[in-house]
Amino acid sequence: MTLRISHAGRQRLKLLALIGLFIGPLIVAWSMVEWRVGIPNERVANGRLMPALPNLEEWPLSAPVPAVGTFDWVLAYDCEVDCLAVADRWWRLHRALGREAPRLTRVRFGGQADALPGEVLSQWRVRPAWSREDSLWLIDPEGRVVLSYRPHHEAEDVLEDLRHLLKMNPQPALATRE
3-state secondary structure string across the chain? CCCCCCHHHHHHHHHHHHHHHHHHHHHHHHHHHHHCCCCCCCCCCCCEECCCCCCHHHCCECCCCCCCCCCCEEEEEECCCCHHHHHHHHHHHHHHCHHHHHHEEEEEECCCCCCCCCEEEECECCCCCCCCCCCEEEECCCCCEEEEECCCCCHHHHHHHHHHHHHHCCCCCCCCCC
Residue 160 has pLDDT above 70, yes or no: yes
* Same domain as 83, residue 134: yes
* Same domain as 136, residue 99: yes
Torsions phi, psi for 67 (to 5 deg): 60, 35
* Same domain as 7, residue 28: yes
Residue 112 lies in a domain: yes
User: Hey, what amino acid is at 105?
Assistant: T
Residue 175 has pLDDT above 60, yes or no: no
**Structural domain that includes position 19:** 1-42
pLDDT tens digits, residue range 48-70?
A: 888 788 888 888 888 777 655 56
* Same domain as 84, residue 27: no
pLDDT tens digits, residue range 24-48?
A: 999 999 998 888 787 766 656 788 8
* Same domain as 57, residue 6: no
Residue 77 has pLDDT above 80, yes or no: yes
CATH of the domain at 61: 3.40.30.10
* Dist. CA 132–CA 139, nearest whole Å: 17
